Amino acid sequence: MPHPQLQPVQVNEILRGVVKLYQAQLQAPGRMPIACKLELDESLGAIAADPDLLHRALSNLVLNAMDAMPNGGTLTLRSRRDGGKGIIEVADTGSGLTREECERIFTPYYTSKQHGTGLGLAIVQSVVSDHGGRISVQSEPGRGTTFVIELPDNLEALQKIPATQNAGDNTGQFPG
């Protein structure tokens, strides 16, 4: 995975972008509709993150949630601030996971699906940990699943990035 290119990111905008990307699939003809709820804390503010990697990770969680709800249901995306952390939740009302599945779900190549490689959640976990965060899962068979991502706001880290890096210095040389 590429190393995150940190910049100030509005988590709520990333969440809105992911929903917009999958809106047509949520209501696709021939499949049971999935309602989408956004419960966004507008006071969350910016965190230091790589918007592309974060978008990819959240997209993966949304696709997994959609797969878990073949008979329709509700997808809920939440954001909130907890001290110096941004909290993101992706919840579904799908089939849920057993305790054993929850314990193995981030293991590379582990999958409970007919299709897929079992790498998606391992990649999501890698993206989150590369941002200095953590991800956890809460689930119960028949009641759905919630993934909780905690990301430090890390805005002070942006101030420590050398000006030459921000200016696009591509000489490949280190100063000094």
User: Residue 26: what are its φ and ψ, rounded to 5°?
Assistant: -65, -30
| Higher per-residue confidence, 45 vs 162 | 45
Place of tokens 């280190």: 174
Give the model's pLDDT for residue 161. Answer: 60
pLDDT at 175: 37
Work out the average pLDDT over 126-147: 95
Grade residue 155 by pLDDT with cuts at 50, 70 and 90.
confident
Q: How far apart are CA 98 and CA 176, in angstroms?
A: 55
pLDDT above 90: percentage of residues in the chain: 68
How many angstroms separate the CA atoms of 129 and 142, rounded?
A: 29
pLDDT digits over 76-91, tens only?
999 999 988 999 999 9
Confidence category of residue 170, pLDDT binned at 50, 70, 90? very low
Tell me how far apart the alpha carbons of residues 13 and 44 are, in angstroms, rounded to a whole number: 11
Sheet order of strands, 34-40 included = 34-40, 73-82, 85-92, 144-152, 134-140
What percentage of the chain carries pLDDT values higher than 70? Answer: 86
158 has a pLDDT exceeding 90: no
DSSP structural state of residue 174:
P
Condensed to tens digits (0 to 9), the pLDDT of residues 55-68 reads 999 999 999 999 99
Angstrom distance (rounded) from CA 123 to CA 120: 5
pLDDT in tens, 33-58: 999 999 999 999 899 999 999 999 99
pLDDT band at 96; cut points 50, 70, 90: very high
